[in-house]
């Protein structure tokens, strides 16, 4: 980094608050009291992020008479659900390319289910009056290197052969007419398969909707252990217990109460910056009238978007795996990554030199080796779980909620018949092998980015085994 560039980047971070912009909002509701004593329910949902909230809400929509309790170890929306980029994608497979590679025979059904799922999210936002700044503006995958442009062009041709519509190839001039950066060479615009939203307000709105349907929610109530109790299950909490006929686990990155599930996920820390609101002149200098979400096509990629008040969220690039899968609030802040992100931001938008960042934050994502959620049951079908969303959980957690409820009901549905639902990813090995393998993969991906996209033997072997590492 040149000294002048470092100075500009460092100065831009001088006033950044070390907290998620989304969570730093006056609309944040007060926490509900913790559980004390014993509770009983037909269904206990553990986890107050999107996964748990959607599960509780849909459970009541399916059966209004069902008695549902939800417990959350901290506050609703506090973890990944309140720290992400606010991209709500239709894809259930971490992008169409990953889905085609893994489930070619099911991809048409997976795409249909994903589109219906996103439509259902939009409908729920309207039905429950959730003010989460929902904008179905789509997303543009951007090429910033010649080899990326060629890959996007070839992929667009493949989409045409597959009969996938609604995705347009943009050359350099067409893309820069949408969003102007000297680094942009072209892109693919998915016009309706991705929405932008305020992620914390979505979580808070789902919380209110659940309460309105009669779900009893307890915050600052961590599930400590899960055991059989008669014909149902019992979960111990710090100040009480919950007895339930069925249990849905939406704990994602946090250690599963079904211990055999734990090796299937690792935590990846992702980081983001949010600018101060752009002036009309600054916004005019970059265009972006369509308000699409954007992401570049590198292995170490960035994602960026406009907020409702015309700030730019700029995140990604670094994906940090802490040795041993350690989860710690200390890892939410990483100044060296924030400085790198700020420098890269001004490389992308030099016309915004002088803009400052108001917020800088990080958080853990639950990553699995196939990049998509996996599902299962335990305790003879009394417990269901979903985890491993790998960064695309804003939308797909609602699908996962439907799957968990199907599994708990013992129903065979179009969802539970999917190979994606019936199969599991490869678990991660124990330490030190997990850390070593992830580090080798990260370094190989970085080399591929700087070497025309050419993948080395390690990455080619991982590709053949269907394994990977991503955020």
Q: What is the mean pLDDT of residues 84-94?
A: 97
Q: What is the mean pLDDT of residues 287-310?
A: 96
Distances (CA, A) of 201 to 29, 61, 78, 189, 292: 10, 21, 11, 26, 19
Query: Exposed/middle/buried for 4, CB within 10 Å: 0-12, 13-18, 19+?
Result: exposed
Distances (CA, A) of 156 to 20, 148, 189, 362: 35, 12, 10, 33
Computed from CA positions of residues 229, 235, 236, 239, in that sequence, does the dihedral angle turn out positive or negative?
negative
pLDDT for 469 beyond 80: no
Q: For position 386, what pLDDT does the model report? A: 98
Q: For position 471, what pLDDT does the model report? A: 61
Q: For position 467, what pLDDT does the model report? A: 73
Instruction: Name the band, by pLDDT with cuts 50, 70 and 90, for residue 3.
Output: low
**CB 188, CB 152: distance < 8 Å:** yes
Q: Taking the model in full, what pTM does it have?
A: 0.96
**How is residue 69 written in tokens?**
């309790």
User: What are the pLDDT digits (tens) for 203-260?
Assistant: 999 999 999 999 999 999 999 999 999 999 999 999 999 999 999 999 999 999 999 9
Residue with more model confidence, 313 or 391: 313
Cβ neighbours for 215, distance < 8 A, ≥ 6 positions apart:
56, 57, 60, 68, 69, 70
User: What are the pLDDT digits (tens) for 30-83?
Assistant: 999 999 999 999 999 999 999 999 999 999 999 999 999 999 999 999 999 999
User: What are the pLDDT digits (tens) for 96-139?
Assistant: 999 999 999 999 999 999 999 999 999 999 999 999 999 999 99
Instruction: Name the band, by pLDDT with cuts 50, 70 and 90, for residue 364.
Output: very high
**How is residue 309 written in tokens?**
């008040």
In the block, tokens 């969303």 appear at: 389
pLDDT for 1 beyond 60: no
Q: For position 396, what pLDDT does the model report? A: 98
Whole-angstrom distance, CA of residue 386 vs CA of residue 468? 19
Q: For position 4, what pLDDT does the model report? A: 61
Q: For position 100, what pLDDT does the model report? A: 92
The chain-wide mean pLDDT, for the chain, equals: 95
User: What are the pLDDT digits (tens) for 155-183?
Assistant: 999 999 988 889 999 999 999 999 999 99
In percent, the amount of the chain with pLDDT more than 70 equals 98
């Amino acid at each position: 980094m040149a000294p002048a560039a470092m100075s500009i980047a460092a100065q831009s971070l001088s006033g950044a608050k070390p907290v998620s912009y989304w969570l730093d909002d006056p609309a944040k509701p007060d926490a509900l009291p913790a559980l004390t004593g014993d509770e009983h329910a037909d269904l206990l949902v553990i986890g107050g992020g999107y996964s748990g909230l959607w599960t509780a809400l849909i459970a009541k929509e399916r059966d209004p008479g069902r008695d549902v309790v939800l417990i959350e170890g901290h506050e609703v929306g506090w973890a990944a659900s309140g720290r992400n980029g606010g991209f709500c994608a239709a894809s259930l497979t971490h992008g169409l390319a990953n889905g085609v590679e893994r489930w070619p025979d099911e991809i048409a059904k997976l795409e249909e289910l994903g589109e219906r799922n996103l439509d259902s999210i939009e409908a729920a936002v309207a039905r429950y009056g959730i003010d989460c700044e929902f904008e179905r503006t789509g997303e543009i995958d951007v090429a910033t290197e010649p080899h990326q442009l060629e890959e996007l062009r070839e992929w667009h041709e493949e989409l045409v052969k597959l009969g996938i519509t609604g995705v347009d190839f943009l050359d350099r001039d067409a893309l820069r007419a949408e969003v102007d950066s000297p680094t942009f060479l072209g892109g693919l615009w998915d016009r309706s398969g991705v929405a932008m939203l305020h992620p914390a307000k979505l979580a808070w709105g789902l919380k209110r909707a659940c309460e309105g349907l009669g779900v009893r929610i307890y915050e600052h109530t961590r599930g400590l252990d899960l055991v059989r109790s008669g014909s149902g299950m019992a979960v111990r909490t710090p100040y009480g217990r919950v007895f339930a006929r069925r249990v849905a686990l939406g704990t994602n990155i946090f250690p599963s109460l079904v211990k055999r599930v734990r090796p299937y996920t690792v935590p990846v820390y992702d980081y983001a910056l949010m600018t101060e609101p752009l002036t009309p002149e600054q916004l005019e200098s970059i265009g972006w009238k369509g308000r699409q979400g954007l992401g570049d096509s590198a292995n170490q990629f960035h994602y960026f978007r406009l907020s409702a008040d015309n700030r730019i969220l700029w995140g990604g690039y670094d994906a940090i795996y802490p040795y041993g899968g350690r989860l710690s609030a200390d890892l939410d802040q990483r100044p060296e990554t924030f400085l790198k992100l700020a420098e890269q931001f001004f490389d992308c938008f030099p016309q915004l030199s002088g803009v400052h960042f108001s917020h800088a934050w990080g958080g853990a994502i639950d990553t699995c080796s196939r990049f998509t959620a996996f599902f299962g049951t335990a305790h003879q079908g009394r417990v269901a779980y979903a985890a491993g969303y790998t960064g695309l959980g804003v939308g797909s957690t609602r699908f996962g909620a439907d799957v968990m409820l199907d599994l708990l009901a013992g129903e065979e549905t179009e969802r539970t018949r999917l190979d994606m639902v019936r199969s599991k990813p490869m678990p991660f090995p124990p330490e030190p092998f997990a850390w070593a393998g992830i580090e080798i993969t990260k370094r190989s991906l970085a080399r591929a980015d700087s070497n025309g996209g050419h993948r080395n033997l390690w990455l080619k072997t991982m590709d053949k085994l269907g394994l990977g590492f991503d955020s």
